[in-house]
Chain A
Amino acid sequence: MVGPALAASPAGGVALENANPLIYRRQGERPVTAREEDDELPDAIDDREIFDLIRSINDPEHPLTLEELNVVEQVRVKVNDAESTVSVEFTPTIPHCSMATLIGLSIKVKLIRSLPERFKVDVHITPGTHTSEHAVNKQLADKERVAAALENAHLLEVVNQCLSGRP
């Protein structure tokens, strides 16, 4: 690293946990197919569609999306439209990332707001990529705690910021 270490941060002078993360290229927009434009043919909800919902979520710390940080990848998204299940694994940028729960919460909230209500949504940490994997997974699976978190103005604000489009 050339030059002085990163000191400024969007969080107001506090050093980022992972100041120089790897950055990955964004996928392009999904091209619209002729089939999709046909009024009659149904389009099943597929992995890419789920991935498109979450890839543009902003990271709470960096001015980057979860896709750019490789926190979410299409291969870690599994959807079964017929059985109404969605499972997403996300990979925190570093194994002790304290934002993991918040990132997971953002993904979960985005999916709950965006998917038909029939879906059961599971969000987990990619196995072996975080020191508190079990604890984070358990919190994310507890819908009562998720509901309570979203009634907390501060948390809701952070989550909404992660979910609102880039300026």
Chain B
Amino acid sequence: MKDSLTLLSRIPAHPDSRCWFLAWNPTGTLLASCGGDRSIRIWGKEGDAWVCKSVLGEGHQRTIRKVAWSPCGNYLASASFDATTCIWKKNQEDFECVATLEGHENEVKSVAWAPSGNLLATCSRDKSVWVWEVDEEDEYECMSVLNSHTQDVKHVVWHPNQELLASASYDDTVKLYREEEDDWVCFTTLEGHESTVWSLTFDQSGERLASCSDDKTVRIWHQYQPGNEQGIVCSGTDPTWKCVCTLSGFHTRTIYDVAWCHLTGALATACGDDAVRVFEEQPLSDPQQPTFTLTAHMARAHTQDVNCVAWNPKEPGLLASCSDDGEMAFWKYQRPEAY
């Protein structure tokens, strides 16, 4: 486990502020960061160094909580505590704000593009999840307002290859939604966490979903289609999601983010105890009862809470993290040889 995670570089991304979130563009060449200073920064690699390519400063009045790239890589969406979501269009190096989505009553906490690029989801402290439709002219129209959660919705994420949406909430649950006759409905609620669920990540296949929580655990949920071999009961045609593994005892404070690498299958976490950790499924474990092993533990990855971890989508093992200390760090993850 020693030396499995090595620091490549560390950059004061949002000095005098906290850095909340990082997002790689689909080709893995650009990294967007956002933070309490109300700005978005776009980072690109020049030689060995990561440099700031542009600063998107004028869009929001308050903290920018999350950012998301469109699947085509030409748009960036940003969610802010000012209750709006901005859509930025990339022209060469520059970005221009082309739309501001209003409607949430208060802080927008998360934003995510569907794999098709035609749908966008946002969520807010107002307890709702909104699904927006994008047309050819960059017009955004709200399709659906989902009020299934009873509290603050912290995170939304799309299934990697289906039109399926997942949300995590302060009400300790995860909810899954699908489209039904031009509207969106919640078809299942994943219960088990004992406190706020902060973030979610699908694995490369979309069969599995990992969630992390204030209860200091990560849970792995597995999808069972109707008529599955294991005999897990499903209602109607909807699949059932079942918790097949709980990673507990590893983290000492709130886990703010979890990220599944679609290239290597490694699972990284960002924790309020300042550490970055990486887990891997044991090669021979039972897929229905998988065992995950801690393969990397960087105890003082940052000087304050780690808020986000993000795997580069093209370069295996390249991990970015960011923290309340305003810095972001790039790490090289190498699977320990014993594996």
| Contact call B253/A120, Cβ cutoff below 8 A | yes
Q: Is the CB of B189 closer than 8 A to any CB of chain A? A: no
Q: How far is the CA of A97 from the CA of B253 in the complex (A)?
A: 29
Q: Is the CB of B152 within 8 A of A147?
A: no
Given contacts A117-B304, A118-B303, contact A145 B81 (CB under 8 A): no
Interface of A is mostly: helix
Shortest Cβ distance from residue B301 to the other chain A in the assembled complex, whole angstroms: 14
Which residue of chain B lies nearest to A84 when distances are taken between CB atoms in the complex?
B274
**9-residue interface stretch from A11-19, A39-47, A87-95, A135-143:** A135-143
Check A148 for interface membership: any CB of B closer than 8 A: yes
- CB within 8 Å of A: which B272-296 residues: 272-273
- Count contacts on A: residues with CB < 8 A to the other chain: 12
Q: Are A142 and B304 in contact (CB under 8 A)?
A: no
In contact, B303 and A117 (Cβ under 8 angstroms):
yes
Chain B's interface size range is 20 to 34
Query: At the interface, yes or no: A144 with Cβ under 8 Å from chain B?
Result: yes
**Is A151 an interface residue when CB atoms closer than 8 A count as contact?**
yes
Assess whether B219 is interfacial by the CB under 8 Å rule: no
From residue B167, how far is it (CB to closest CB) to chain A in Å? Answer: 15
Q: Provided the pairs A148-B81, A148-B107, A148-B125 are in contact, do residues A141 and B214 lie with their beta carbons within 8 angstroms?
A: yes
CA of A22 to CA of B18 in the docked complex: distance in angstroms? 41
- B63: CB under 8 A from chain A? yes
How far is the CB of A83 from the nearest CB of chain B, in Å?
10
CB-CB nearest in chain B for A117: B304
The answer to whether A142 touches B196 (Cβ under 8 A) is yes
Interchain CB contact under 8 A, B305 and A143: yes
A120 CA / B324 CA spacing, docked (Å): 12
Q: Within the complex, what minimum Cβ distance (angstroms) separates B64 from chain A?
A: 11
Q: Which residue of A lies closest to B170 (CB)?
A: A142
Cβ of B297 within 8 Å of any chain A Cβ, yes or no, is no
Query: Which chain A positions have C-beta within 8 A of B107?
Result: 148
Q: Report chain B residues within 8 Å CB of A148.
A: 62-63, 81, 106-107, 125
Q: Which of A118, A138, A141, A144 has a CB less than 8 Å from the CB of B65?
A: A144
Query: Nearest Cβ distance between residue B132 and chain A, in whole angstroms?
Result: 22
| Cα–Cα, bound, A138→B196 (Å) | 9
Choose among A117, A143, A144 the residue with the greatest number of B CB atoms under 10 Å from its CB: A144
The answer to the question of B59 belonging to the interface, with a C-beta cut-off of 8 Å to chain A, is no
Scan A72-112; emit 1 where CB is below 8 A from any B CB, else 0: 00000000000000000000000000000000000000000
- For residue B325, CB closer than 8 A to chain A, the reply is yes
CB under 8 Å from chain A, chain B span 55-77 = 62-63, 65
Q: Does B188 contact A (CB under 8 A)?
A: no
CA distance A147 to B305 in the complex (A): 14
Q: Are B325 and A117 in contact (CB under 8 A)?
A: yes
Give Cα A151–Cα B325 distance, bound, in whole angstroms. Answer: 18
Q: For the complex, what is the distance from the CA of A78 to the CA of B214, rounded to whole Å?
A: 22
Please give me the 9 A-B residue pairs with the lowest Cβ-Cβ distance, nearest first. A151-B62, A148-B107, A148-B81, A151-B81, A117-B304, A151-B63, A147-B63, A142-B196, A117-B303
Name 30 interchain pairs, CB-CB below 8 A, sorted by A.
Answer: A117-B303, A117-B304, A117-B324, A117-B325, A118-B303, A120-B253, A120-B272, A138-B170, A138-B195, A138-B196, A141-B214, A141-B254, A142-B170, A142-B196, A143-B272, A143-B305, A143-B324, A144-B109, A144-B154, A147-B18, A147-B36, A147-B81, A148-B62, A148-B63, A148-B81, A148-B106, A148-B107, A148-B125, A151-B62, A151-B81
